[in-house]
Each structure stands twice: as C-alpha cells, then as structure tokens.
Homo-oligomer: A and B are copies of this chain.
Amino acid sequence: MRERPGDNGTVPTAKKKPNVSPSPERRRELLDTAAEVFAAQGYNATTVRKIADAAGMLAGSLYYHFDSKESMLDEILATFLDELWTGYDTVLAAGLGPRETIEALVTESFREIDRHRAAVAIYQKEARTLATQPRFGYLADSQTKFEAAWLGTLERGVADGVFRADLDIRLTYRFIRDTVWVAVSWYRPGGQHSPEEIARQYLSMVLDGVAVRT
C-alpha cells in the first residue's frame, strides 16, 4: 500500500536520516504529543516551537529525532493508515454478507477513532490538500481502496436486496463515510459511550432511519 518515495526524488541532496540512533519509544512519545497539537491547532498553524513546548524541550531538539516537521506528519498518518487497513482487511476477508460487512466496517471505524483520535482528526482536516503532494500519494491510494471497499459492499447489498435500490449509491457511500468519520470532531475517548455503543446507534440510524415507522 505504502509507496515510499524516500530518497528516489529528483532532489539531488539525499534526505538525511537523523545523525545517530534515537530510541523508537521516545519517537513514539514525541509523535503522540505532536499529533495532539496538530489535531488541536491544524498542521499549518502548528509551529515546531509549539510542539517542542508541549514536549518540554526546545524546537531544535526535535531534529535529533526527526528530519522535518513534515516527516512527523508523514509518520503519524502512515502509522494510522497501516493500522486502519489491518482492521479493514480482516473484516473484508471474513466473507460476511453486505449488511454485516457494513456493520463491521462502521464498528471498526469507530474503534480506530477511539484509538487514533488525533491522527484521524488530522487526516480529516488535511488529507485533501496533502493527497496532491507526491510525498503523501499513499493518502490518495488509501482513499481509492477505501471507496472501492465501501462502494462494492453497498452494490452487493443492493443486488442482494438488503439495501434500497432507489438511492444514488455514490451519494449513499459519501453519506455513510462522512457520518462515521466526522464523529471524530466531537468524540472524546473515555466519554459516555463506548465506540461499540456509538457504532450501534449510528448503524441503527443509517440503516433504519430516525423516523418512526408508520
């Protein structure tokens, strides 16, 4: 999935690895705090000095662990997408029916929001602009694969007669996709509802509607 352009670039100067060998644990810690700041303020509005502040160090010190501000963002998003697709692929390989597949995908999505709240928030805000950049081409790849999985499942459901045939299926896809992922804008881990409970209610609304049956 992840096509790493890495050092293949047209840029003559090879991209530097950090001078020495920082510990992966510390990297993770710093990436987590960076992700929080990115999510709260937006990537562009976040200065490396703010990240350093949140981490209790000075701006320049971050460059012992990372090549650049952009590579922090890169690693945050790539890690999230890797884990997301691990979950999705498991669901898609399970050979469930269309309705059960949708239910499992939605539930899995809310679990990802629960586990990677900051990364999902960043993704939501920045993905569209980033996807055009070569370095973040894997975002576009992911979106394509994502759309294929959901649209395919919906089409299968319409063919099987479990989903309504009178709706624009592309509209339905965007509808479900968006309703799930925008939840990250208000969801806070450890809140009233568990991810599974939220998924259950969302699915109930999406599948059966909010109106009383007459």
Contact A178 B176 (CB under 8 A): no
The reply to whether the CB of A25 lies closer than 8 angstroms to some CB of chain B is no
Mark out the residues of chain A between 158 and 214 whose CB falls within 8 Å of any chain B CB in the assembled complex.
161-164, 167-168, 171-172, 174-176, 178-179, 182-183, 185-186, 193, 198, 201-202, 204-213
Please tell me which one of the listed residues B129, B174, B198 contacts residue A171 in the complex, with CB atoms under 8 A apart: B198
Contact A175 B171 (CB under 8 A): no
Contact B179 A178 (CB under 8 A): yes
Contact B205 A172 (CB under 8 A): yes
Which stretch, A10-18, A40-48, A67-75, A84-92, touches the partner chain B?
A: A40-48
Chain A interface residue count, Cβ-Cβ cutoff 8 angstroms: 41
The reply to whether the CB of A28 lies closer than 8 angstroms to some CB of chain B is no
Contact A209 B206 (CB under 8 A): yes
Q: Hey, which chain B residues are within 8 Å of A204, CB to CB?
A: 167
The reply to whether the CB of A99 lies closer than 8 angstroms to some CB of chain B is yes
Q: Hey, which chain B residues are within 8 Å of A193, CB to CB?
A: 168, 171
CB-defined interface of A52-70 with B at 8 Å, one 1/0 digit per residue? 0000000000000000000
The reply to whether the CB of A125 lies closer than 8 angstroms to some CB of chain B is yes
Beyond A168-B193, A206-B205, is A212–B163 a contact (Cβ under 8 Å)? Answer: yes
Contact B186 A174 (CB under 8 A): yes
Q: In the complex, what residue of chain B is closest to A208 when comparing beta carbons? A: B209
Please tell me which one of the listed residues B126, B129, B178 contacts residue A178 in the complex, with CB atoms under 8 A apart: B178
Binding site for B on A (CB under 8 A): 40-42, 44-45, 99, 125-126, 128-129, 161-164, 167-168, 171-172, 174-176, 178-179, 182-183, 185-186, 193, 198, 201-202, 204-213
